[in-house]
Amino acid sequence: MQKNESVIWKIEITHSGQQTENQVKKQGSNIRDIWDNIKRANLRIIGIPEGVEKDKGMENIFEEIIDGNFPSLKDTGFKIQEAQRAPNKLNPNRPTPRHIIIKMAKVSDKERILKAAREKQNVTYKGTPIRRSADFSTETLQARREWQEIFKVLKGKNMQPRILYPARISFKIEGEIKIFPKKQKLKEYSNTKPRLKEILKGLL
């Protein structure tokens, strides 16, 4: 999937030589939205050891995760269209296991699982902590990762941070929910809030 995304990016860049920078950015955003829409029903599961699926199969592993962490969802009739490791090829030098991508039959099923995971917070597989998230395009994933350090700090201060689509951060301050699409906007806002500026010192 990442290879196909890269090919499309190259095609767009090749045909945009005489276009303005804003037009190129807009096209890039449109391509990202297309890929995110394709992946809309996908769940990304992070931290499952390599090879465990050989004996059980990925669908059975997924069912074990649901049974062990979200028993209230056990009999809700989830349907899986596809399950695979990403990337497809194993890199022996990779220090962490490849992610597992689960394509659900319904977007609503994915949303219910993510909601339950947020509420439980500590999700495990056979005692090993795992993480779960929606599956996005490479560009969206990278943009969301750039908020991670700020997210951790805000969460530590109980400011209820969330990463919103495509890569915006929201959090609660002075009784209000604030949303920022870029770090520069957050920096400008923090300059008006001394406490927030101190909390985010060195991160913006």
- Contact indicator for 66, 78 with CB cutoff of 8 Å: yes
Q: What is the pLDDT along the chain (204 residues), one digit of tens a residue?
A: 455 555 444 445 455 555 676 666 666 677 878 888 888 899 999 999 999 999 889 999 999 999 999 998 877 778 899 999 999 898 989 899 999 999 999 999 999 999 999 899 899 999 999 998 889 888 898 999 999 999 999 999 999 999 998 899 999 999 999 999 999 999 999 999 999 999 999 999
Domain boundaries, the chain: 2-38, 42-135, 146-199
Instruction: Name the CATH superfamily for 42-135.
Output: L1 transposable element, RRM domain (3.30.70.1820)
Please tell me the distance from the alpha carbon of residue 141 to that of residue 5, in angstroms, as a whole number: 13
Backbone angles phi, psi at 37, to 5 degrees: -70, -40
Tokens standing for residue 97: 């296991």
- Provide the CATH number for the domain formed by 146-199 in this structure: 3.30.250.20
Q: Is 0.85 topped by the overall pTM? A: no
pLDDT digit string (tens) for 90-140?
898 989 999 999 999 999 999 999 999 989 989 999 999 999 888 988 889
Termini Cα distance of the chain: 32
